[in-house]
Structure 1
Amino acid sequence: MNRIQENADGWISKDVWSACLSEDDPITPGDQIALGFDGSIRGDATGLVGVRLRDGKLFVLHLQENPRDPNRPDWEVDALAVEAAIANAFKTYRVEWFYGDPPYWQETIGRWALEHGDDRVFEFWTNKPLRMVNATERFHSAAAVQDLSHDGDPRLTGHILNAVTREVPQGTLITKSSPRSKKKIDLAVCAILAFEARADAIADGRLKIKRRRVVGF
């Protein structure tokens, strides 16, 4: 049996991520986007990240993190807030492709597919190593050459920089620095799924670029 090897190397460096910052051309309602969702119930964070199809710009749509408050030992993710975030994303933007990690949320993702279209909402099992390795490597390569960007949201930046690499037989995945670490990486997973959703949406021919009409004189 192949053994997983872990190391403490940062997945994406601060310098690389900073170079991908783009404060111009903000995301606006009506933009074509893809979505990545990673959900939990209690322990890990639950997040939703979008990415614009035409330029690969990432942005955070929702995040809930366990506050680790001893006065709230029974804290759980607010499922209604998640539902509202999903509904608002589909209402505000032209969502072309959605990837959601099913554990804890499989029935809900199935319902979202019924509500928003099973040609737009899909499961993406992050525990399937080969598929996740390929998606992770594509994201990393795009960041290295600035083929993606982000709006500087500190929540996404924090999760991206918290992620360290984990070697499996299929290649490189990301993980927390230790199982008990309070430094979350869930938005990094969401970003990977969103970026993969964007690639599949474009490959499916869903990117529609409006061209300005040029009037001659």
Structure 2
Amino acid sequence: MLYDCVEATADLDLKDRDAITRGVRDAYGDSHWVDVEGIVDAIQDPRTPAGVAYRFYLNNIQENADGWVTKDSWELCFSEEDPIQPGEQISIGFDGSLRGDSSGIIGCRLRDGKLFKLGLWENPRTDPEWEVDVLSVEAAVHNAFRTYKVEWMYGDPPYWQEALGRWAMEFGEDRVFEYWTNRPTRMAQATERFHSAVAMQDLKHENDPDLSRHVLNAVTREVPQGILITKDSPRSKKKIDLAVCAILAFEARADAIADGRLNARRRRVIGF
């Protein structure tokens, strides 16, 4: 068996166009027919995960090449200014489990896309009988709606479909919606929008250690519909549930704004 593969120099700065251009030329060798500039454009497209850039365009497999969001790009989105205050308009992303995985709730401020943690229930892996505290999750959701002006909530229904239905009846069917994360087309589009927002610093976060840990734990999984995120292995202890929540919260923010809810006064109908 003959194997021919030329790798670009390792650890290239994907933001350095000149370095990337040299790397592409190295990787493609005497393949003079390739569109070098087009490949460089694809590598530097904010929607292209670093793992895809290294693996497909530069023939360069490195540790954590499949990582979804880099630590540097995530840290650039950190903002300690303008903290989120009670009464502000937010959206919510909820991803729930009962036993194996974590359950989490992430909020996202409508006016600037700033993310913050509303709750996390993570399996400590020390108690085989551990279960998510359902009443605590319920209390956190109710507290979020009492504290903030929740304009849009997306929740992944498995295990929690009945609860989502109740919350919709209680808080408004125009504010609480199911969002099935196992539908790859819709989820890949939402994942791409979130990743692009991080790359362009179009979102912010409070540097919550749990949210940061889950976001940086996520790796990419390629499907025909695009890029999804997953754990680095099925049995991995590195959780990513808050990353899923953040994607849902950011997507809920976009849909709330598209619906005209940013700074819009909510009408009240009073019967006599």
* TM-score of the pair, normalised by structure 2: 0.73
Match of 2:147 among 63, 67, 92: 92
Question: How many Å apart are 1:124 and its aligned residue?
Answer: 0.1
Q: Which residue of 1 aligns with 2:98?
A: 41
User: For the pair shown, which has the larger CA radius of gyration, 1 or 2?
Assistant: 2
Question: How many Å apart are 1:73 and its aligned residue?
Answer: 1.4
- Do the aligned partners of 1:8 and 1:177 also contact (CA within 8 Å) in 2? no
Match of 1:185 among 223, 226, 240: 240
C-alpha distance in structure 1 between counterparts of 2:66 and 2:79, whole Å: 25
Among the aligned pairs, what percent are the same residue? 73
Match of 1:12 among 69, 75, 97: 69
Query: SS at the partner of 2:152?
Result: strand
- Would you say 1:101 and 2:156 are equivalent positions? yes
C-alpha distance in structure 2 between counterparts of 1:208 and 1:65, whole Å: 34
Which structure 2 residues correspond to residues 94-133 of structure 1 after superposition, within 5 A? 94-133=149-188
C-alpha distance in structure 2 between counterparts of 1:157 and 1:193, whole Å: 16
C-alpha distance in structure 1 between counterparts of 2:189 and 2:257, whole Å: 17
> In proportion to residue count, which structure has more strand?
1
C-alpha distance in structure 2 between counterparts of 1:201 and 1:39, whole Å: 22
C-alpha distance in structure 1 between counterparts of 2:67 and 2:80, whole Å: 24
- Would you say 1:50 and 2:81 are equivalent positions? no
Q: Which residue of 1 aligns with 2:131?
A: 76
Question: How many Å apart are 1:209 and its aligned residue?
Answer: 7.5
Segments of structure 1 that go 5 or more residues without pairing to the other structure are: 1-6, 211-217
CA-atom RMSD in angstroms: 1.2
Q: Which has the higher contact order (CA 8 A, sep 6+)?
A: 1
C-alpha distance in structure 2 between counterparts of 1:156 and 1:187, whole Å: 6
Match of 2:228 among 173, 176, 190: 173
Q: Deviations over 1:56-113 (max 9, x none)?
A: 00000000011111xx211100000000000000000000000000000001100000
Tell me which stretches of 4 or more aligned residues in structure 1 moved more than 2 Å: none
* TM-score of the pair, normalised by structure 1: 0.91
Aligned residues: 202
Q: Which residue of 1 aligns with 2:84?
A: 27
